[in-house]
Structure 1
Amino acid sequence: MEPIQQILQQYEQALNASDAKAVLDLYSSDPVFMPQFAPAQVGRDAVRDTYEQIFQTIQLQVKFTTYEVEQMGELAYVRTSSSGTVTVLANQQTKTEGNNELFIFKHENGNWKIHRYLFASSQAPN
């Protein structure tokens, strides 16, 4: 398996385990996370805090599908989609989840890291 594909698999596992530390370990030293309906989260502290807040609110069970990986020197972009379920922890209501994602990876200290990440729902609001 290619290194970037391994990182995406680890990211999927960390999301499904609600493990903010494992998620942050996959990010670069100066990440930007751009979640839907929220301001961009810039820097490791902001990214960590955002994932911790997300995992206190919802439980994800998602699977990523990769459509393209394009490497350009020390950077690479990856276009994916994800699908699965999201459970709101406050009321235990579960609904389907689906997103389109764009990852930018940076080769840093000998490893590929998530440098920028943007996602948007691929499902119509209900």
Structure 2
Amino acid sequence: MELDTLDFTMSGQNGDIDEIKQLAEDWRSGWIAGDADALLALYADEPVLMPWGQPTVFGKDAIRPLYQSMFKEYAIKSEPTVMDVEVSGDLGYFWCTYAQTATPKAGGAPREEEGKAVFIVRREHGAWKIARLIDNSDRASPSI
């Protein structure tokens, strides 16, 4: 009986990991499509965004204009690699590395970036959602 319980727990956890991996893929798809609404739909009710080199952003209403502005100005190409996914109960995380190119829609040289990001996820309303997103560039900070 204990073995059956263990097998159920493990298969349930594997299902959660698969769902979180799908969340990561949905994130990538929304980013490449330049779809702020699709990205915001992946966030928890009260998300926190901690972008590299910028102040912390609290809530979807504050995140929305950041994404809309970026997608209005740039076409994004991104190649993330999910490095690890963990889950425990209704909390989990995944982290990834990425190479990204942002090409100005008005013309000009593309901006290339490499970095890593940690997504803390929470099960809300039966689905895995992004509760916290921490982004960090691999480039050195500009001199102050």
TM-score by length of 2: 0.80
- Give per-residue Cα distances to partners, 1:67-126, cap 9 Å, x unaligned: 111112111111111113111234332132211101100100110001100111123479
1:62–1:97 Cα contact (<8 Å) kept = no
Task: List, as ranges, runs of 4+ consecutive aligned residues in structure 1 with deviation greater than 6 Å.
Answer: none
Instruction: Say whether 1:79 aligns with 2:95.
Output: yes
Structure 2 residue runs without a partner (length 5+): 1-16
* Identical-residue share of aligned pairs (%): 32
Partner in structure 2 of residue 105 of structure 1? 121
1:31–1:116 Cα contact (<8 Å) kept = yes
Match 1:33 to one of 49, 60, 63: 49
TM-score by length of 1: 0.90
Partner in structure 2 of residue 20 of structure 1? 36
Query: What is the number of residues matched between the two proteins?
Result: 126
Higher Cα Rg: structure 1 or 2?
Answer: 2
Greater helix content: 2
10 and 69 in structure 1: CA distance in 2 versus 1, 3 angstrom threshold: same
For residues 86 and 67 of structure 1, what CA distance do their matches in structure 2 show?
23
Instruction: Say whether 1:46 aligns with 2:62.
Output: yes
Deviation at 1:16, TM superposition (A): 0.7
Deviation at 1:41, TM superposition (A): 1.0
Instruction: Say whether 1:122 aligns with 2:138.
Output: yes
Structure 1 residue runs without a partner (length 5+): none
- Give per-residue Cα distances to partners, 1:33-86, cap 9 Å, x unaligned: 111121111011011121112212322100111111111211111111111311
Any idea what SS the aligned residue of 1:2 has?
Answer: helix
Instruction: Say whether 1:70 aligns with 2:86.
Output: yes
**RMSD between aligned alpha carbons?**
1.8
Any idea what SS the aligned residue of 1:93 has?
Answer: coil
